[in-house]
Amino acid sequence: MKLASYWQETAPAFTGGASSPPSGRYDVAVIGAGFTGLGAARRLAKEGRRVIVLEAQSVGFGASGRNGGHLNNGIAHSFTHAVSTYGLETARAMYRAFDDGIDTIERIIAEEGIACDFRRSGKLKLAAKPAHYESLARNQEAISRNVDPDTAMLSKDDLRREIGSEVFHGAMLQSKSAMMHMGRFVVGLAGAAARHGAEIHENTPVTGRRQTGGGHELTTPQGVVQADNVLLATGAYTPKAFGYFRRRIIPVGSFLLATRPLSEEEAAAVMPGNRTCVTSLNVGNYFRLAPDRRLIFGGRARFSAISDHRSDEKSGRILKAALSDIFPQLSDTAIDYCWGGLVDMSQDRFPRAGQADGVYFAMGYSGHGAQIATHMGEMTADLILGRASRNPWMDLPWNAIPGHAGQPWFLPLVGAYYRFKDKIS
């Protein structure tokens, strides 16, 4: 078993990075070379702006290269709750923004010729308990009536055509959802941004920043960069120089396994519907087949803000047990990859984007960024360009989390709370 991201290990290397140290003045400095930052950099460069991207590690190192490979449409949690909290029109705008996020990815793939196995697969939200099926049915009825008729409820009998497991009690199907190879897409997106003129500097962390009369000064180990505008696109990997955002984002570990490639017969028995799947538990799991028929199986596993080899391996053992519970036929199947990463949770689990603390930003995807981050990058680029905002989260309040300064000491308590909820509900 290799302790590395399957997406990163099976993607081509990015070769379009800048060859000289960063220096000089730019219209926009983008911090972070994941989906958000690269989506913004591509849009800005195409509009003729001088753009530099500063990435502390490598292209797609963070959540963009460490996720489950799902592009799931619509609000990930309850649409009815969003309606009761923010009103019907705002809830519709939020739901449609996630749909637009997948459309944006599909458009960019076509425009740039990115080979990343994109496919509209549909998503199943699997009811782990009978009561969860009833809750999903109420949510689906509201979604179908108000915003997305391309949804349906599947009974337990219906599920036998979709998934080779008997532990679920039905599911909600959202047909617009998709999947792709995340590593190939992020490398392709970086290549596209570079072709359009963006300078991309890997292994270039921002260690300091200072606002000047004429803009911003960013310090890196390789040199100092001047920029008229700064876009922060770092999510859970936000550096200490940006404390305002670290007080509002909770980094939470998410962990994954990839099995050996399954035979055609095994894959057809385990995932005959070949969709993305998410369970209804608070501490649940998500899974899909990879292009080479591996089962990619993930979950929160442990409530931790650490993702390193030791943490990932420990979480992997928990995931292997969960995989065996759902798919007993895979209990003895070899695991080829095990990895983890940090997701950027907001307190209400909705994204935030706009301008604050002197910089533009987009983050807070709360484990559902793959489908919307590239779109949010483009929306934030449009804001920098002075265009009308299409951002439904622009005016949401975003207060600092009491007692939180960047290291979430309270995560074990949160985990215990959600596990208790799963037992009683």
- pLDDT-based confidence at residue 423 (cuts at 50, 70, 90): confident
Determine how β-strand 250-259 pairs with β-strand 295-299: antiparallel
Q: Where are the domains of the chain?
A: 6-417
* Residue pair 184/17 in contact by the 8 Å Cβ criterion: no
Is residue 210 helix, strand or coil? strand
In the chain the first and final C-alpha atoms are separated, in Å, by 36
Examine the pLDDT at 418 and tell me if it is beyond 80: no
Q: Is the dihedral of CA 407, 412, 417, 423 positive or negative?
A: positive
Give per-residue burial for 348-366: e unless 16+ CB within 10 Å, then b: bebbbbbeeeebbbbbbbb
Q: What is the pLDDT of residue 406?
A: 75
Could you tell me which residue, 77 or 326, shows the higher pLDDT? 326
**Element housing 225 (H / E):** strand 223-232
> Which amino acid type is present at position 165?
S
CA 311/CA 400 separation, integer angstroms = 28
Examine the pLDDT at 225 and tell me if it is beyond 70: yes
Summarised one tens digit per residue, pLDDT across range 179-200 is 999 999 999 999 999 999 999 9
Q: What is the pLDDT of residue 425?
A: 74
> Which amino acid type is present at position 41?
A
- pLDDT-based confidence at residue 410 (cuts at 50, 70, 90): low
> Which amino acid type is present at position 270?
V
Q: What is the pLDDT of residue 350?
A: 92
Q: What is the pLDDT of residue 301?
A: 59
Could you tell me which residue, 228 or 301, shows the higher pLDDT? 228
For residue 217, what are its two tokens? 């000064």
Mean pLDDT score of the chain, rounded to an integer? 93
Q: What is the pLDDT of residue 395?
A: 84
Looking at residue 383, the DSSP 8-state letter turns out to be H
> Which amino acid type is present at position 149?
P
Summarised one tens digit per residue, pLDDT across range 365-399 is 998 999 999 999 999 999 999 998 888 988 889 99
Summarised one tens digit per residue, pLDDT across range 28-59 is 999 999 999 999 999 999 999 999 999 999 99
* Residue pair 394/354 in contact by the 8 Å Cβ criterion: yes
Strand order in the sheet with 70-71: 70-71, 178-179, 119-120
* Residue pair 101/374 in contact by the 8 Å Cβ criterion: yes
Q: What is the pLDDT of residue 49?
A: 98
Q: Write out the E strands in 294-333.
A: 295-299
CA 116/CA 186 separation, integer angstroms = 9
Rg of the Cα trace of the chain? 21
- Match 């619509």 to its residue by tokens: 74
Give per-residue burial for 295-325: e unless 16+ CB within 10 Å, then b: bbbbbbbbbbbebeeebbebbbeebbebbee
In terms of CATH, what superfamily is 6-417? FAD/NAD(P)-binding domain (3.50.50.60)
Find residue 353's DSSP bridge partners. Answer: 362
The rounded percent of the chain whose pLDDT value lies above 90 is 81
Average of per-residue pLDDT across 294-310: 78
Q: What is the pLDDT of residue 256?
A: 95
For residue 329, what are its two tokens? 């036929």
* Residue pair 211/9 in contact by the 8 Å Cβ criterion: no
* Residue pair 44/385 in contact by the 8 Å Cβ criterion: yes
Examine the pLDDT at 417 and tell me if it is beyond 60: no
Q: What is the pLDDT of residue 253?
A: 85
Closest listed residue to residue 298, CA positions, set 310, 284, 311, 308? 284
Examine the pLDDT at 283 and tell me if it is beyond 80: no
Q: How many CB atoms lie within 10 A of CB 395?
A: 10
Summarised one tens digit per residue, pLDDT across range 78-89 is 899 999 999 999
CA 121/CA 271 separation, integer angstroms = 12
CA 85/CA 348 separation, integer angstroms = 11
For residue 130, what are its two tokens? 């009978």
CA 287/CA 422 separation, integer angstroms = 19
Cα dist from 20 to 17, 55, 196, 202, 223, whole Å: 9, 14, 18, 11, 10
